[in-house]
């Protein structure tokens, strides 16, 4: 099915199952500990061995020699894999550097060996006995120091042009009566998913099966085949349950490759779970950014010039953190400029982390908008609404498919009690606490990918849905079941969903906020085909049939749905493909975040008191799971604003705080009451589901709203994240 015209009325519009709050159908398995994750498929293989990864102890250089003798003699050791015995390995399309290093070392903790033993403890102990002699080279580790040598990347990291120009930014900025020119920095951040990267691999008759924690089954299967020099059809990848990913598991990583190589060398199944300290340096992270924002405006608050420049570092051949993406669409203004620059560095690979681009970009942009509003003497909410637009600012002939940013801001301001905010910083006290409110707009582009599914109607009237879509804790099982139930007129408990298996049709996968809308649209397409086959078997005209309450109806005729499959199971398969509507209309999601904080006037400790998110993201397929995604994203935003930072050793080129003891993330005690509002909208130009993504929008802008609230509370403006007390303690108002 090709979606190339706006969706008219269709079966999803019944909203009997879709759009309703439902508990996650996989929830019972997870809460009971019965959902098998990648490392836990104990019944799938016999006699599994355990692999322990040896990570490089330098950030740049080469291995002169590797002494494996003590490790080989260690108790329980079955095999050792290094670049010398692994054979010729390729590099997948989505990997920036080799996943098994040697003799060259590209970054700290790059995998250079796998020790396989009978038990996990034996493998880990033996791995510690591997002795490596390095020839260390000088590396490039400091983003500021590399700024002057930055290059123009091939694209902006999101597939667009690296630089854009509309009108005459320089002249307009110089002529603007009110201007802002400020630089903001965001640090490197780690995904810190609850489940570490883990895989189990088994070979049989030259074919490979890998159970792995991965968000994108087909991408990873393809890149694993490229890496191992195999036919893709000879690999089966399974990932039915994932304990968090946030973009860190979008691509093939070392755990899957080494599990496959270890199993081949040991001639038995091998499990590899990456220890937590290896994850930040070995896998991927969100790169640090340096962003310069310039805004010019007339005295009445209309933006006349807008410029956003960003820099991040990555390995040679690596991509941008597309931090200017939202700035090309969010606010009006005729004279515009955006720039992307990339510093080639020798740090671990930077890549996608939840809301790549918009998350760090809005942390800068929305503070700049607050600063500009203050200069103009305009309320921050009204300043944003004043510069709202219904067309793409860089291409004014291209309207938004549906844009309710102004309503998000107005509704949020009313719900949050924004009119009680004192615009004078450091003027509200609650005992020893300085209290402030902050706001930020939220923006995330809508993305759609082709996605397929197979549906099976059985003789008992139940339905099976099969697709290689994954569930990273977001509720994919549930919304897919809801879609199929709505299309066939069934109850939710009459639908069985099977996910995360490369034997199923290729889906969009989970990532980039494209998963829910794309995957359910693929299920929609397959169900349309199944409805046609059922109608044909029952002798109905497919265009006139109604599927409801387990029945098929047309005119005065009624038949049971199950009767269509009495002669045998009916199977239908299709995929959704996308036409040019995304080119004709700018498709985006919008929101507004409101935050109240309190800062201890003596110690500088910051406490978030309450939070509100208002989201406009098309049809909400399941308000319950959608809310869970948004409050999780808001929590992540608090972490990004106040505590999350990979501390970099600029001499040795590695992230020092590479575990959850040193890399701080929010805990329950850090998070106050969270409120979420979804605007009622259905965007017919984006998909037959009329939905968009929501999981990343909830993060976009949160950090800036927190930072703006801290400023309103203290009068101290922080432009370098995270907003830690050492950056403002000495500038707090005097304690009376």
Q: What is the DSSP string of 21-57?
A: ----TTHHHHHTT-S--GGG-TTT-SS-EEEEEEEPS
**Is the confidence at residue 593, as pLDDT, over 90?**
yes
Instruction: Quote helix, strand, coil % in the chain, to nearest 5.
Output: 30, 30, 45
CA distances from residue 556 to 146, 279, 540, 543, 696 in whole angstroms, order as listed: 75, 62, 11, 15, 47
Neighbouring residues of 353: CB distance < 8 A, sequence distance ≥ 6: 189, 191, 246, 247, 248, 284, 285, 286, 359
Position 470 pLDDT exceeds 90? yes
pLDDT tens digits, one per residue of 49-84? 999 999 999 999 999 999 999 999 999 999 999 999
| CA nearest to 216, candidates 358, 33, 106, 351 | 351
pLDDT digits (tens, 9 = 90+) for 421-463: 999 999 999 999 999 999 999 999 999 999 999 999 999 999 9
CA distance 554 to 542: 9
Does residue 294 register a pLDDT over 90?
yes
- CA 263 from chain centre, in angstroms, equals 31
pLDDT, tens digit, 9 for 90 and up, residues 503-513: 999 999 999 99
- Which percentage of the chain shows pLDDT scores above 70? 100
- CATH 3.90.1170.50 region(s) of the chain? 39-356
pLDDT band at residue 581 using 50, 70 and 90 as cut-offs: very high
Pairing assessment for the beta strands 451-457 and 570-578 based on DSSP bridges = antiparallel
Confidence class for position 610, pLDDT limits 50, 70, 90 = very high
Q: What is the pLDDT of residue 651?
A: 96
Specify the pairing of strand 111-117 against strand 198-204: unpaired
Q: DSSP assignment, residue 404?
A: -
What is the Cα–Cα distance from 607 to 600, expressed in whole angstroms?
8
Query: For the chain, what percent of residues have pLDDT higher than 90?
Result: 98
CATH tag for 359-446+587-731 (out of 3.40.50.12240, 3.30.365.10, 3.20.170.30, 3.90.1150.10):
3.30.365.10
Give exposure, 591-620, as e/b (b: 16+ Cβ within 10 Å): bbbbbbbbbbbeebebebbebbbbbbbbbb
- Report pTM: 0.98
Report how far residue 283's alpha carbon sits from residue 399's, in angstroms, rounded to the nearest whole number. Answer: 39
Would you give the end-to-end CA distance of the chain in angstroms? 69
pLDDT one-digit tens code per residue, 5-57: 999 999 999 999 999 999 999 999 999 999 999 999 999 999 999 999 999 99
- Which residues lie closer than 8 Å to 103 by C-beta, 6 or more apart? 62, 63, 64, 83
Closest CA to 391 of 578, 169, 588: 588
CA–CA gap between residue 274 and residue 706 (Å, rounded)? 33
Decide: helix, strand or coil at residue 336.
strand
How many DSSP H helices and E strands does the chain contain? 15, 32
Rounded Cα–Cα distance for residues 179 and 187 (Å): 26
Start-end of CATH 3.30.365.10 domains in the chain: 2-35+449-580, 359-446+587-731
To 10 degrees, the CA torsion angle through 309, 315, 319, 323? -30
* Count of C-beta atoms within a 10 Å radius of residue 426: 19
Comparing CA positions, the residue from 30, 123, 9, 12 lying closest to residue 521 is 12
- Which CATH class, in words, describes the domain spanning 39-356? alpha beta
Q: Which of 92, 95, 94, 105 is nearest to 55 (CA)?
A: 105
Q: What kind and span of H or E run contains 435? A: strand 433-445
For residue 736, the model assigns a pLDDT of: 64
Burial of 558-584, coded b for 16+ CB within 10 Å and e otherwise, reads ebebbebbeeeebbbbbbbbbeebbee
Give the C-alpha distances (Å, rounded to integers) separating 54 from 117, 257, 658: 14, 14, 15
Say if residues 573 and 586 touch (Cβ distance below 8 Å): no
CATH class of 2-35+449-580: alpha beta
Token match 């608090």: residue?
638
Q: How far is CA 578 from the centre of its chain?
A: 22
Tokens, residue 372: 């500009």
pLDDT tens track for 220-241 = 999 999 999 999 999 999 999 9
What value does the mean pLDDT of the chain take?
97
**Closest of 170, 157, 71, 74 to residue 114, by C-alpha:** 71
Q: Are strands 395-399 and 391-392 parallel, antiparallel or unpaired?
A: antiparallel
- Is position 596 annotated as part of the catalytic site? no
Sign of the Cα torsion 190, 191, 196, 197 reads negative
Element (H, E) at 535: helix 515-538
- DSSP string over 256-302: HHHHHHHHHHHTS-EEEE--GGGHHHHS-BBPPEEEEEEEEE-TTS-
pLDDT of residue 337: 98
Calculate ∠ Cα 700-705-711, nearest 5°: 150
Q: With contact defined as beta carbons under 8 Å apart, do 65 and 135 qualify?
A: no
Give the Å distances, CA to CA, from 163 to 218, 326, 400, 618, 705: 32, 14, 22, 30, 28
Residue 491 phi, psi dihedral angles, 5° rounding: -80, 160
Q: How many angstroms from the chain centroid is the CA of residue 655?
A: 21
- Residue in 309, 374, 644, 696 annotated catalytic: 696
In tens, the pLDDT along 536-568 reads 999 998 888 999 999 999 999 999 999 999 999
Task: Give, in order, the Cα–Cα distances in Å from 150 to each of 140, 190, 313, 333.
Answer: 12, 24, 8, 28
């Amino acid at each position: 099915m090709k979606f190339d015209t706006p969706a008219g009325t269709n079966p999803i519009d019944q909203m009997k199952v879709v759009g309703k709050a439902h508990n996650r159908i996989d929830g019972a398995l997870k809460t009971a500990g019965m959902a098998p994750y990648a490392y836990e498929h104990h019944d799938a293989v016999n006699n599994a061995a355990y692999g322990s990864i040896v990570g490089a102890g330098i950030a740049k250089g080469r291995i002169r020699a590797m002494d494996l003798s003590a490790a080989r003699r260690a108790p329980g050791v079955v095999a050792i894999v290094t670049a010398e015995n692994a054979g010729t390995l390729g590099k997948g399309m989505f990997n920036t550097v080799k996943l098994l290093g040697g003799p060259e070392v590209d970054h700290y903790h790059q995998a250079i060996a796998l020790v396989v033993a009978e038990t996990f403890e034996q493998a880990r102990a033996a791995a510690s006995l591997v002795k490596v002699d390095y020839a260390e080279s000088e590396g490039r580790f400091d983003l500021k120091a590399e700024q002057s040598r930055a290059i123009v990347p091939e694209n902006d990291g999101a597939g667009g042009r690296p630089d854009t120009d509309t009108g005459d930014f320089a002249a307009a900025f110089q002529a603007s009566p009110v201007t802002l020119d400020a630089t903001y920095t965001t640090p490197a951040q780690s995904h810190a998913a609850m489940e570490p990267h883990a895989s189990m691999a088994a070979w049989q008759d030259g074919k490979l099966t890998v159970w792995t924690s991965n968000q994108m089954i087909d991408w990873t299967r393809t890149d694993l085949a490229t890496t191992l020099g195999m036919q893709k059809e000879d690999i089966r990848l399974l990932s039915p349950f994932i304990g968090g990913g946030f973009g860190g598991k979008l691509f093939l990583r070392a755990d899957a490759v080494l599990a496959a190589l270890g199993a081949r060398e040991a001639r038995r199944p091998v499990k590899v779970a990456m220890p937590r300290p290896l994850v930040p340096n070995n896998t991927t992270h969100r790169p640090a950014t340096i962003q310069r924002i310039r805004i010019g405006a007339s005295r009445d608050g209309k933006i006349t010039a807008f410029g956003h420049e960003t820099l991040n570092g990555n390995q040679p051949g690596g991509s941008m953190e597309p931090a200017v993406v939202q700035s090309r669409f969010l606010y009006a203004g005729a004279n515009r400029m955006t720039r992307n620059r990339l510093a080639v560095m020798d740090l671990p690979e930077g890549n996608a982390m939840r809301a790549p681009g918009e998350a760090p970009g809005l942390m800068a942009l929305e503070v700049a908008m607050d600063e500009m509003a203050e200069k103009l003497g305009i309320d921050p909410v009204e300043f944003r609404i004043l510069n709202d637009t219904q067309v793409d600012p860089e291409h004014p002939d291209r309207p938004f498919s549906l844009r309710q940013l102004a309503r998000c801001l107005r509704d949020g301001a009313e719900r949050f009690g924004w009119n009680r905010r004192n615009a004078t910083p450091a003027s509200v006290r609650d005992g020893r606490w300085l209290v402030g409110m902050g706001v930020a707009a939220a923006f995330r582009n809508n993305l759609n990918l082709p996605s397929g599914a197979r549906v099976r109607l059985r003789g008992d009237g139940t339905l099976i849905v099969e697709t290689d879509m994954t569930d990273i804790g977001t509720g994919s099982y549930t919304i897919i079941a809801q879609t199929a139930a709505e299309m066939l007129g069934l109850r939710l408990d009459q639908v069985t969903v099977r996910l995360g298996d490369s034997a199923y049709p290729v889906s969009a996968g989970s990532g980039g906020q494209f998963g829910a809308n794309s995957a359910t649209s693929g299920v929609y397409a397959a169900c349309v085909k199944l409805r046609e086959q059922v109608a044909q078997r029952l002798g109905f005209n497919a265009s006139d049939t109604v599927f409801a309450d387990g029945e098929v109806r047309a005119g005065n005729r009624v038949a049971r749905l199950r009767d269509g499959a009495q002669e045998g199971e009916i199977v239908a398969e299709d995929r959704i493909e996308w036409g040019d509507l995304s080119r004709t209309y700018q498709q985006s999601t919008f929101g507004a975040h409101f935050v109240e904080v309190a800062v201890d006037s003596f110690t500088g400790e910051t406490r978030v008191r309450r939070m509100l998110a208002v989201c406009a993201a098309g049809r909400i397929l399941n308000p319950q799971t959608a809310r869970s995604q948004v409050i999780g994203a808001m929590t992540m935003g608090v972490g990004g604003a106040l505590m999350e930072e990979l501390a970099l050793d600029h001499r040795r080129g590695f992230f020092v705080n590479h575990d959850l003891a040193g890399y701080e993330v929010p805990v329950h005690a850090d998070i106050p009451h969270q409120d979420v509002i979804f605007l009622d909208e259905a965007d017919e130009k984006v998909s037959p589901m009329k939905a968009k993504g929501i999981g990343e929008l909830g993060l976009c802008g949160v950090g800036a709203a927190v930072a703006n609230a801290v400023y309103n509370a203290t009068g101290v403006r922080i432009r370098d994240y995270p907003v830690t007390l050492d950056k403002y303690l000495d500038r707090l108002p005097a304690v009376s």
